[in-house]
Amino acid sequence: MTKPPDDTEIIARNKRARFDYEILETLEAGLVLRGTEVKSLRNGKANLSDSYGIVKDGEIWLLNLHISPYEQGTAWNHEPTRSRKMLLHASEISRLIGAVERKGLTIIPLEMRFRRGRAKVVIALGRGKKLHDKRADEKAKDDQRDVARALRSNR
């Protein structure tokens, strides 16, 4: 994974996404948020683990993104798992719609971050991994760890 630019602050990561999905392409999208959601995000209260993107009426929506209610919020606090619209260029939306509908890919959020004061979500087009793919990745990671450990002990 590439290092984010200096003007970004990472809020939350979806660590499980790279284990469960084969990541094909990544994009950065904006989110339509309410004021209490932004304040809660500034406190780092977000969970991406069960969230995913869908296509509805030619727009991309993020579902099951959990942003905890703002602690100092009033009766007009936001609902934690409401659907949130993602802001993308029209060409990006059409490309995502084509990939999801024709190729059967899934839109997965990888991380949330503030970039120049605006909340962004890094989304990916992914294909679900089968059990044998997960095992192969796990074995490759173990082998790489063993090689690194052997090189360290030889010094």
3 has pLDDT over 70? no
155 has pLDDT over 90? no
- pLDDT given for residue 1 in this prediction: 56
Nearest to 88 by CA among 59, 50, 129: 59
- Which CATH fold would you assign to the domain 8-130? Small Protein B; Chain: A; (2.40.280)
pLDDT per residue as tens digits for the range 36-86: 888 888 888 888 888 988 888 889 999 998 888 887 777 777 888 888 999
Model pTM? 0.78
- pLDDT given for residue 5 in this prediction: 64
**How far is it, in rounded angstroms, from Cα 42 to Cα 117?**
10
User: In this predicted model, which residue has the larger pLDDT, 46 or 1?
Assistant: 46
C-alpha triplet 26, 5, 128: angle, nearest 5°: 20
Domain positions in the chain are 8-130
